[in-house]
């Protein structure tokens, strides 16, 4: 999607459908509803998406592309490792706040292949890109020199467990709070005294 510009009309449909799916899930949402709320004909939507499954697939892949692009941009920007981590948390938290459990459940139950793509993206971002951030933190003496493999495995396993509808549904915390608690626990476990002082000043977004 980065390489080929999306027609404005198609982008409008994708972005609207994504917001609706996030709020209400996609399984019970119809193309008719989306067309009506967008004040456009069903044929216009079918011009770009032959069926609802295709629309769900493209909205999910659009989400993956946006997340990858923004996280990679943050990783390559200026700032210390903790500053970048908090910006990533803020960005991801903003998306997670908009995702109702219905969407997460629908993806896992009715589109498991898309859930696998999301999960795979999380693993790649962690193991390939966040590894560079951990190395930066070690050079800056703000991350303890634990083995990268252990740090990244703990990070990925924690996020896979927390950002999961089966877990989030039973919490009395918001999705954003659950993510922030998770990051706080991980960061305080891997930061040096210098790193913890920086974290205390910056604070996680709420």
Q: What is the DSSP string of 28-70?
A: S--HHHHHHHHTS-HHHHHHH-SSHHHHHHHHHHHHHHHHHHH
| The pLDDT of residue 175 | 67
35 close to 45: Cβ distance less than 8 angstroms: yes
Residue 82 pLDDT greater than 50, yes or no = yes
Distance of alpha carbon 164 from alpha carbon 179, whole angstroms: 11
| The pLDDT of residue 8 | 94
| The pLDDT of residue 2 | 44
For residues 110 and 6, the model is more confident at: 110
pLDDT in tens, 103-131: 888 998 999 999 898 888 877 877 777 88
Residue 163 pLDDT greater than 70, yes or no = no
Please give the CATH architecture assigned to the domain spanning 63-202: Orthogonal Bundle (1.10)
| The pLDDT of residue 29 | 95
Q: Is the dihedral of CA 44, 54, 68, 103 positive or negative?
A: positive
Which burial class, exposed, middle or buried, applies to 94 when counting CB atoms under 10 A from its CB (0-12, 13-18, 19+)? exposed
Residue 165 pLDDT greater than 80, yes or no = no
Residues of the chain with pLDDT > 90, as a percent, come to 50
Residues of the chain with pLDDT > 70, as a percent, come to 90
Q: How far apart are the first and last CA of the chain?
A: 31
With CA atoms as reference, report the closest residue to 189 among 139, 162, 150, 159.
Answer: 150
Average pLDDT, the chain: 86
Residue extents of the structural domains in the chain: 63-202
């Amino acid at each position: 999607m980065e390489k080929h510009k999306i027609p404005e009309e198609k982008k409008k449909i994708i972005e609207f459908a994504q917001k609706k799916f996030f709020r209400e899930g996609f399984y019970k949402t119809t193309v008719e509803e989306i067309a009506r709320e967008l004040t456009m004909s069903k044929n216009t939507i079918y011009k770009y998406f032959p069926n609802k499954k295709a629309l769900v697939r493209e909205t999910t892949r659009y989400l993956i592309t946006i997340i990858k692009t923004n996280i990679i941009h943050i990783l390559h920007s200026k700032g210390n490792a903790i500053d970048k981590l908090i910006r990533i948390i803020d960005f991801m938290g903003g998306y997670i706040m908009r995702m109702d459990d219905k969407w997460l459940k629908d993806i896992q139950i009715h589109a498991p292949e898309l859930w696998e793509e999301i999960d795979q993206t999380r693993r790649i971002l962690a193991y390939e890109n966040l590894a560079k951030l951990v190395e930066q933190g070690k050079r800056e003496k703000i991350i303890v020199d634990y083995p990268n493999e252990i740090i990244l495995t703990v990070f990925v396993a924690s996020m896979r467990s927390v950002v999961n509808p089966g877990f989030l549904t039973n919490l009395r915390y918001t999705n954003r709070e659950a993510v922030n608690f998770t990051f706080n626990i991980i960061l305080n476990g891997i930061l040096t005294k210098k790193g913890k002082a920086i974290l205390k000043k910056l604070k996680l977004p709420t």
